[in-house]
Amino acid sequence: MAENENLSDTISEDDWAAAMQEQADMETTAAQPAAQPVAFQSFEGGPRPSTMNDYELILDIPVQLTVQLGRTRISIRNLLQLAHGSVVELDALAGEPMDVLVNGTLIAQGEVVVVNDKFGIRLTDIITPSERVRKLRG
């Protein structure tokens, strides 16, 4: 016990304050997120690629493109009664533009075309990012 008293006599209040400040500084540093690098470098350690090269990184990512003619709601009873040749009425009118969705997000509207005996869609209206945000809010 006498050793502890002697030890506490040799440690001044300034030492305690300095130690507490150092601990607080360490906790603050640990709580802050790690600094993000300003630029990623290539594996070779060279400079960061140009902006066009940044876009090239995502150009080969596959997305799902869906062209939607229309929608409807039917009961399970009516669904089970569908057979070859059944007609399902959709909410879209003939001649209305169809919705073009990418990963479930509306990006355009268009009309059906036939090219070399295959169906396609001619885009007639592209949805701007601001319009997409407005539709999400409204």
Domains and CATH numbers, the chain: 63-137 (2.30.330.10)
The tokens 């959709």 sit on which residue?
90
State both tokens at 51: 């902006």
Q: What is the pTM of this model?
A: 0.51
DSSP 58: T
Sequence letter at residue 76: I
Residues 102 and 65: their CA atoms lie apart, in Å, by: 5
The tens place of each residue's pLDDT in the chain, 138 residues long, gives: 444 444 445 556 677 677 777 777 776 665 555 555 555 555 555 555 566 677 788 888 999 999 998 899 999 999 999 999 999 999 988 888 999 999 988 899 999 898 899 989 999 999 988 887 787 776
98, 69 in Cβ contact below 8 A? yes
Specify the 3-state DSSP secondary structure of 101: strand
